[in-house]
Amino acid sequence: MRLSDQQKKQLEPCLVSFLAQLRSQFIREYPKEAIKVRDQLHTRLLSASRTSGSLGEWSTYLLRKMRLQAPNKWTSSALLTLSDTVESIAGSVPDVTPELAKKYAHGAVMRWIEEEVGYLMALLQDSIEQQRELRATEQQLVDAAVAQHIEDEDAAAAAAGENPVFDPKAVSKIVKKARSAAKEQQ
């Protein structure tokens, strides 16, 4: 069995999300090795897809080779979403038993990952860059909102002939409001 283009497009965001979460978890646990994570992930991903017959084996292999004890809640969630997608592909395999369909689907996914590992790593890198840009935009909006709040408070204090007072709770509310606005814009 080979994956159709539609099935690949269905799998791509799930796989990239899982890899992004795995990468983030690795960086949190091994911050001094963050510079090497891309090469390590590429090598481990290729090796895991060559030696695993199922998504469960594949993910366990990746976690073990990345020296991660267990997936954190975000990595787990992304893995379960990926697993559900693979299961839906298995459900579309005609004229075979469900067990055989599952085996075919998992094997096809492993072959696809091995064959297109470079492309998948490029998708991962693109996803990471998009997230960085979104965070930078969000931070700019937050900074602008806080600066505007401080400027308004300074102007109000000057008009009343008082010294401006810094209110951390008010700034915290401004930051939360600005982050919410930034997420809505995205």
Q: What is the pLDDT of residues 140-166, one digit of tens each?
A: 888 888 888 888 888 888 888 887 777
What is the distance of C-alpha 186 from the center of its chain?
16
**Are 69 and 9 a contacting pair, CB within 8 Å?**
no
Centre a 10 Å sphere on the Cβ of residue 118 and count the other Cβ atoms it contains. Answer: 10
Report the percent of the chain where pLDDT is more than 90: 58
Q: Whole-number mean pLDDT of the chain?
A: 89
pLDDT at 177: 82
Look-up of token digits 């891309």: 38
* Maximum alpha-carbon separation in the chain: 83
Read off the pLDDT band of 79 (50, 70, 90).
very high
For the entire predicted model, the pTM comes to 0.79
pLDDT at 186: 63
Tokens of 71: 């997936």
Cα 153 from Cα 151, distance rounded (Å): 5
Residue 174 has pLDDT above 70, yes or no: yes
pLDDT at 111: 94
Please name the residues in contact with 69: beta carbons below 8 A apart, sequence gap of 6 or more.
63
Helix (H) or strand (E) holding 148: helix 117-159
Please name the residues in contact with 102: beta carbons below 8 A apart, sequence gap of 6 or more.
87, 90
Cα 182 from Cα 140, distance rounded (Å): 9
Q: Which own/partner contact pairs does 179-186 have at CB distance under 8 Å and 24+ positions apart?
A: 179/138, 179/141, 179/142, 181/141, 181/145, 182/137, 182/138, 182/141, 182/142, 183/138, 185/141, 186/134, 186/137, 186/138
Tokens of 9: 């497009």
Residue 26 has pLDDT above 80, yes or no: yes
Instruction: Please tell me which residue, 148 or 61, carries the higher pLDDT value.
Output: 61
pLDDT at 178: 80
**How much is the average pLDDT of 21-39?**
92
**pLDDT tens digits along 89-126:** 988 888 888 888 899 999 999 999 999 999 999 999 99
